[in-house]
């Protein structure tokens, strides 16, 4: 089955940089330092969380609030004026194996404002509503799949102009066929439709719709670009929920790198999502911030790098990570009791694959409290070994991104966790 999947993202690993944005980068385990992680099962008032009710009613909302305040920023609910143009309401695709649907989602009453194209395939021979993998991508929908029927969108180019998709960068493709064969639908959106991925992009994305009169920047605890992309994914799910061919209670998110951070935050925030596969999410995603290895908050939020992806408060912790009220073990814990697979690469040093494993381990007590099994091992597994249960960890041999064979592991995980069938 692996041969069926194209490489999704570039997996070449350059030599790890020794310094980024003038800040040294540590790759020496001996210099990682000692740290104490925040306890997922201890309330801010010091009391222990000993039952599921206290987790759901007190500790979980408390942790979400801390991430909003200090890392991703607060985001609004669904917009008051959203509209849909189902311009391709159902066309056979992939030799009749799928039904394709394309819809433009307008995020406000102003049709010249931000809008997102949603591409959906459902297995043609499904007997009931299908589970679905929702991908958030660096490239336009038309360059993600081999289907000439997909509308060519536009993308942001390196000069921050919108250009036809063909002229933009295309980072690999997804082969939808093995997903369809496993009974899964597939959907994809282009992240730049929701919010641009560059400093100064604010006026052109959804965040601009919510600025108060006279406000030019989000407040220090208001959303950065990652929370905006995440909000867009929730809007995609709002729409998928209306489609009777889709089992909206079994929608799985997939994203890589900054979009791995995005899908983690989306699963944490919006519990309608059934499961998440986060690829190489690294710092600001599943890698522990307190562990000084590879990228740190200081690198991520340095001027000229990615401060716009987070709320302004996040940058404060670059020099004092010990005072960061949360860490990645808590972000991972917010997925509990739902399935989460962390996919990393053993030479993706910048993203700290071991730090992602340790975060998963640190979230195990929450999975256990809620009656599920987490990674349940103290040993960081070697490359090529899937460990865990409802919370899984998999590191391929190689660098940043998802490799063709990783998709086999994803399907294995999803079949085990979401109970979809092998073959229609």
Q: What residues act catalytically?
A: 257, 400
- Give 264's strand partners: none
Query: Which positions ≥6 away from 285 have C-beta within 8 Å?
Result: 260, 261, 264, 278, 328, 331, 356
Instruction: Supply the minimum distance, in Å, between the C-beta of residue 110 and ligand GCU.
Output: 30
The interface with ligand GCU within residues 284-343 (CB under 6 A) comprises 284, 295, 300
355 binds ligand GCU, rule: CB under 6 A? no
Beta strands in 257-317 (DSSP E): 275-279
Instruction: Supply the minimum distance, in Å, between the C-beta of residue 280 and ligand GCU.
Output: 7
The interface with ligand GCU within residues 175-204 (CB under 6 A) comprises none
User: With CB under 6 A as the contact rule, which of the stretches 84-92, 150-158, 279-287, 415-423 interacts with ligand GCU?
Assistant: 279-287
User: With CB under 6 A as the contact rule, which of the stretches 160-168, 205-213, 276-284, 364-372 interacts with ligand GCU?
Assistant: 276-284
172 binds ligand GCU, rule: CB under 6 A? no
Instruction: Supply the minimum distance, in Å, between the C-beta of residue 284 and ligand GCU.
Output: 6
The DSSP element (H or E) to which 249 belongs, if any, is strand 246-256
269 binds ligand GCU, rule: CB under 6 A? no
Helix axes 258-269, 60-67, angle to 10 degrees: 140
DSSP string for residues in 126-194 = -SSPEEEEEEEESS-GGGTSS-TTSPP-EEE-TTS-EEEGGGS--------HHHHHTT-EEEEEEHHHH
**Which of residues 348 and 364 has its CB atom nearest to ligand GCU in the complex?**
348
258 binds ligand GCU, rule: CB under 6 A? yes
Nearest-angstrom CA–CA distance, 327 and 65: 13
Nearest-angstrom CA–CA distance, 39 and 160: 42
Q: Are 269 and 230 in contact (CB under 8 A)?
A: yes
Interface with ligand GCU (CB under 6 A), residue from 185, 232, 282, 392: 282
Nearest-angstrom CA–CA distance, 101 and 240: 11
DSSP 70: I
Instruction: Supply the minimum distance, in Å, between the C-beta of residue 285 and ligand GCU.
Output: 7
283 binds ligand GCU, rule: CB under 6 A? yes
257 binds ligand GCU, rule: CB under 6 A? yes
**Which of residues 6 and 171 has its CB atom nearest to ligand GCU in the complex?**
171
Q: Could you list the residues that contact ligand GCU (CB under 6 A)?
A: 257-258, 282-284, 295, 300
């Amino acid at each position: 089955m692996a041969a069926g999947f194209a490489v999704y993202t570039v997996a070449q690993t350059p030599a790890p940089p020794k310094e980024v944005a003038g800040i040294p980068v540590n790759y020496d385990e001996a210099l990682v330092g000692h740290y104490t992680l925040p306890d997922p099962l201890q309330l801010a008032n010091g009391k222990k969380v000993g039952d599921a009710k206290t987790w759901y009613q007190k500790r979980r909302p408390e942790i979400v609030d801390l991430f909003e305040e200090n890392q991703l920023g607060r985001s609004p609910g669904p917009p008051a004026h959203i509209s849909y143009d189902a311009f391709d309401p159902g066309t056979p695709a992939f030799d009749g194996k799928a039904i394709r649907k394309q819809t433009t989602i307008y995020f406000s009453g102003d049709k010249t404002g931000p809008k997102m194209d949603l591409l959906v395939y459902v297995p043609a021979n499904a007997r009931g509503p299908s589970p679905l993998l929702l991908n958030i991508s660096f490239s336009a929908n038309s360059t993600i799949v081999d289907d000439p029927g997909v509308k060519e969108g536009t993308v942001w180019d390196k000069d921050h102009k919108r250009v036809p998709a063909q002229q933009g960068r295309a980072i690999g493709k997804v082969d939808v066929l093995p997903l369809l064969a496993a009974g899964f639908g597939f959907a994809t959106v282009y992240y730049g439709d929701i919010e641009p991925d560059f400093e100064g992009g604010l006026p052109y994305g959804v965040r601009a719709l919510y600025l108060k009169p006279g406000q030019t920047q989000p407040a220090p605890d208001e959303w950065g670009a990652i929370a905006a992309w995440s909000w867009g994914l929730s809007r995609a799910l709002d729409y998928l929920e209306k489609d009777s061919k889709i089992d909206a209670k079994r929608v799985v998110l997939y994203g890589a790198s900054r979009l791995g951070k995005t899908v983690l935050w989306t699963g944490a925030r919006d519990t309608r999502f059934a499961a998440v596969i986060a690829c190489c999410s690294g710092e600001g995603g599943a890698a522990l911030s307190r562990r000084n290895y590879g990228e740190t908050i200081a690198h991520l939020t340095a001027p000229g790098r990615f401060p716009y992806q987070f709320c302004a408060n996040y940058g404060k912790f670059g020099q004092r990570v010990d005072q960061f009220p949360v860490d990645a073990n808590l972000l991972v814990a917010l997925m509990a009791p739902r399935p989460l697979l962390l996919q990393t690469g053993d030479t993706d040093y910048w993203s700290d694959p071991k730090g992602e494993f340790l975060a998963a381990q640190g979230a195990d007590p929450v999975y256990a409290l809620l009656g599920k099994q987490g990674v349940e091992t103290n040993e960081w597994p070697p490359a090529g070994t899937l460990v865990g249960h409802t919370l899984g960890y998999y590191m391929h041999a190689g660098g940043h991104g998802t490799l063709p064979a990783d998709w086999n592991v994803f399907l294995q995980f999803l079949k085990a966790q979401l109970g979809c069938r092998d073959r229609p």
